[in-house]
Amino acid sequence: MDATASERGAAPHDDTWARVDAFLRSRLRPELYDRWFAPLRIAGLEDGLLHVATPDKFHRDFMDDNYGAWFAEFLPNVAPPACRVAFVVDDRPPARAPPPPAPSRLVPAGPDPRDLRPSSRYTFETFVVGESNQFAFAAAKAVADRPGQSYNPLFLHGDSGLGKTHLLHAVANAILASRPGGRVAVVSSERYTNEFVEGLRKGTLDEFRRKYRECSALLLDDVQFLAGKERTAEEFFHTFNDLHEQHVQIVLSSDRSPRELKGLEDRLCSRFEWGMRVQINAPEFETRSAIVQHKAEQEGIALPDDVAQLLATHIRSNVRELHGALMRVAAFASLKAEPITVRLARDVLADVIPPPGYKPSIERIQELVAAHYNLTVARLTSASREQKIALPRQVAMYLCRELARETFQLIAEKFNKRDHTTVISAKDRIEELLATDPEVQAAVSTLTQKLAP
C-alpha cells in the first residue's frame, strides 16, 4: 500500500485504538509488542477501513506482510463491525530544531535534514557476515573508516532483501559516530525523486540542492528507480559530480549492476563504476542460520536450534523473508502461549515450508523454467526446435527427472512428446552442459534452489 497517513482526513478514533492496543498488549510478549506494535497509531477510520500509521515504509511493509492476516482475523471482534485494516506511513514532518549558529559544509544552512538520518537498527555490529556478503561488508567498512578516500563511489548491488540497505545505514551511522556534528544524507531514490519534484513545483530547488550537496556523505538506496526519470537523473548527475569533486563519500545501492541499468544515461552509469562495485549474493545455509539466530536474540525470542535450521533450510531467497518468517512464528507462539517448536513453525509457515517428502510437480517445474527463460508454458511444451525454446525444454525435462523423480514416459507425455527417448536425450545433454557451460550451471542451480523442499 502506497498511502501515507497525511492523506487521511479523518480525526483519530482514540476509543477504537485503545481497544485494539489493549488487545495487542494482552496477547503479545512485551519485547514483541514494544518492537513492532507500540509505534503504531490510528490515522483514521473510513467506511469500515481502519488506517493504522507506521513510522516508516520498512515498518509498514513488515506489518503488512507478516501481520496483515492476523489483524484481519481479530479486528472485527475488537473494533467496530466489519472493520478492516490498512497500514500506512506516518509522514508527519518532525519538529524542527533551532538553526545552527554558524553554517559550514558539515552543518549547512537551510532545512533541517534530521529526517535523512540513518536508522539506529542498522549498524556494522548487527550485520551478520558470511561468504555471500563478506566482500561487501569489508568495502563498506573501508568506506566508513576513510570516507571519500577508499572507494568513491561504493556501488552495492544484488537482489532485494540481501542487506544493501543495512550496509548503507551502517556506513552512515559509522561516519556520524566518527565525525560528531557532521551530517549524512541517506535516502531512497523514490524520496529523492519526490523531493525534487516538490522543489520544482514550489520553486525551492536551491534548498533541495543544499540539502544533498552540503553534506559529509550521500547514500542513495535503490538507484535503479531513477531510470526513466530524466530530470531527476540529470539533477543527481550534477549532485554526484559536485560531491565527488569535493571528495564527499557517495554510496549507492541497486538491484543490478551499473551496466545492467536501463533507462539511465551512460554518462551517469559510467560514474557508478568509478570507485568500487560489489555484488551481494543470497546467503548460504550457515549464514542464514546465523542471521535467524541473531534476529531472534535481537527480538528477545527463545528460538530452538532445530527451528532455526528449519527456517534457514527452507527460506533461502533473502534475509527480509527470513526475518519475516521468524516474526510470524514468534507472534503465533505468543498468541497461543506455546513454546516455539518445529511442529508449530511448520504449521505457521505451511505456505513456504513444504511437508516432509515433498517433490515438485512437473507442472510446477514447467512454470518456473518458463518464467526463468521468459517463455510461456505453452511455448515451452510446443514442438518448436528453436534453440531459445529447445534448451529451456531440455532443462525442464532434466529437472523433472532429477527433482520430481517421474518416469521418462510420464515426462514425455507432459511435454507432448510421444517417445520417452526424447527425455533421455534431454537429460544426457544437460548433464554434458553442466560440466562445460556456466550459464546452464547457473540456471539449473537457481531453479533447483527454488524448487527444493
**Tens digits of per-residue pLDDT, 319-330?**
888 888 898 888
Whether the model clears a pTM of 0.75, i.e. scores above it, the answer is no
Question: Looking at domain 114-279, which CATH architecture does it have?
Answer: 3-Layer(aba) Sandwich (3.40)
Q: What is the CATH number of domain 285-348?
A: 1.10.8.60
C-alpha cell, 119: 536508522
Specify whether domain 362-451 bears CATH 1.10.3720.10: no
In percent, how much of the chain has pLDDT > 90?
32
Least confident segment among 55-59, 123-127, 215-219: 55-59
Q: Are 3 and 86 in contact (CB under 8 A)?
A: yes
282-341: pLDDT as tens digits: 888 888 899 999 888 888 888 999 999 888 888 877 888 888 889 888 888 887 788 899
Question: Looking at domain 5-89, which CATH architecture does it have?
Answer: 2-Layer Sandwich (3.30)
Reply yes or no on whether the pLDDT at 254 is more than 80: yes
Least confident segment among 47-61, 261-275, 361-375, 389-403: 47-61
Delimit the domains of the chain by residue range.
Answer: 5-89, 114-279, 285-348, 362-451
